[in-house]
Amino acid sequence: MKKILSIAGLIVASSLLLRANGSAAETRPAAFGQLESLAAGSPSQVPAAPAAGQDPGGVITVYAYPPTYPQDWSSPRGMLGSMLSTDLKKQIYSRKTEFVSDFKEDGTVATNYKSAVGHVEAHVKCTLPEGGVYDVWTGMVGRKQISADIDVLFKQKLGMGSMFHAFVDGYLANGEENIWRLVNYKSSSDDAPRYWEQEIDSQACGKVKEMVEFYNSFHYKPGTTLAQLQALPPEKIFYFDTTKDPYETYMARRANGDNTPVGGVCASYGMALLKIAGKYDYSIDTHFRANIEVSERLIGGIPDETGKIREVEVSDLLFGSLGGSWTYPGYKNRLYDSYDPEHIWKFIGEISDCSWGGPACSVAASEWYNKNKSRVVYTIQKAEELLPYARADRKISSKFRMEGIHVQ
């Protein structure tokens, strides 16, 4: 019995990792084009560089890192198994780095921090239209409401439907927690985080601040129960949800009042910051995303072929034949289309290699770089650049460094 409970606990933890550190799939509402009138304009394929002599106002730096260990996405069983393996390795004892968030909340990050599916976060430092500097570290995470995962996997028996489920515990992690995730991140391949640093003007700075503060308003106190979150009206919830885009839902909320649900996850939130600033490059959008067809046979909570509500046991996915394939003949598929931390990390690295002739420069990255090389600079961020944002009693190894690109 203890062994069974232990396995069940690991399964829950793996599901938790999928949504707590994961990437996000987006839907693209038909009304999206109409909402763009609220922003700087319709999204262009390539964002315009600042006019000559114009003060750029500041930068948004979007950081990404891949899963600590390679993931097996060949089948549901492979994906769950690779996440379980990461979770087992996370149980190995590690010292903790303490932090205090912008919300005055204490927390810790393991000094050998491991991530099951990677993560995206951002640093914004820019001059506001009214003057003054806006300086914030921000990233979207979940509170890890374990009871929600138990309900989804073992009571509702949603199976791979959990990939599309709207969890109610999304929130922004602001402050030095984001720094310690970066500097403590451990990769099995000795990979380091990478970043996309984008110049923005003061008007864009103001728009970014408005969006960050909007999502900060959904932050809830530690100790808030799942039942308390579920009791909130939908417009008061920041959904941790792979089917919602933080930028699109934010724009829709502005257009429609307080009734549009908002949400997303870490990768889509990082891209949302560039989008609201008018600096997201839609021409390379597909390179930041991962997608996979998921058979409805794997998704519980929907009618099956007999009209009954389908239930999918986790044990069938892990140990039975059901977990052997993502698709099955005779069943409809749902598209899991996501901004993925590993894809973002990889493409930034490819562009970086193009800037200095490195071996990882792909054809797609080369095409983009050749069109934009007049405004792209390969850069390295070292430990001392993060020290102003760290606690005075904490040290960052002088060996710590990340590669990235600076885009005008």
Question: What per-residue confidence (pLDDT) applies to 47?
Answer: 59
Q: Which of 50-59, 203-212, 232-241, 385-394 has the lowest mean pLDDT?
A: 50-59
Exposed e or buried b per residue across 200-239, where buried means at least 16 C-beta atoms within 10 angstroms of its C-beta: bbbebbbbbbebbebbbebbbeeeeebeebeeeeeeebbb
Q: Which of 41-45, 155-159, 220-224, 358-362 has the lowest mean pLDDT?
A: 41-45
- Please, which pLDDT band fits residue 45 given cuts at 50, 70 and 90? low
Nearest to 230 by CA among 279, 180, 168: 168
- Name the region of 158 (left: φ>0; alpha: ψ -120 to 50; beta: rest): alpha
Give Cα 151 distance to the centre of its chain.
23
Give Cα 13 distance to the centre of its chain.
18
The mean pLDDT of the chain is 85
User: Which residues, 6 or more positions from 148, have their beta carbon under 8 angstroms from its beta carbon?
Assistant: 167, 168, 169, 226
Question: What per-residue confidence (pLDDT) applies to 309?
Answer: 94
pLDDT tens across 74-130, in order?
A: 999 999 888 888 878 877 878 888 988 888 889 898 998 989 889 999 999 999 999
368 or 96: whose pLDDT is higher?
368
- pLDDT above 60: residue 31: no
- Please, which pLDDT band fits residue 4 given cuts at 50, 70 and 90? very low
- Please, which pLDDT band fits residue 335 given cuts at 50, 70 and 90? very high
Question: What per-residue confidence (pLDDT) applies to 397?
Answer: 84
Give Cα 44 distance to the centre of its chain.
23
For the ranges 83-87, 278-282, 387-391, the maximum mean pLDDT occurs at: 278-282
The 3-state DSSP class for residue 171 equals: strand
- With a pLDDT cut of 90, the percent of the chain lying above it is 61
As given in the structure block, the two tokens for residue 354 are: 């193009």
- Residue 366 host element (H or E): helix 363-372
Question: What per-residue confidence (pLDDT) applies to 44?
Answer: 45
212 or 154: whose pLDDT is higher?
212
Question: What's the angle, vertex CA 216, arms to CA 238 and CA 272, rounded to 5?
Answer: 70
Tokens 């909320």 belong to residue: 253
Cα(110)–Cα(68) distance, integer angstroms:
13
- The mean pLDDT of 40-45, rounded to a whole number, is 43
Q: Which of 70-74, 100-104, 140-144 has the lowest mean pLDDT?
A: 140-144
- pLDDT above 60: residue 39: no
Cα(364)–Cα(9) distance, integer angstroms:
42
388 or 381: whose pLDDT is higher?
381
**376 strand-pairing partners:** 407
Question: What per-residue confidence (pLDDT) applies to 144?
Answer: 63
Question: What per-residue confidence (pLDDT) applies to 143?
Answer: 59
- The mean pLDDT of 35-55, rounded to a whole number, is 44
Q: Which of 28-32, 138-142, 293-297 has the lowest mean pLDDT?
A: 28-32
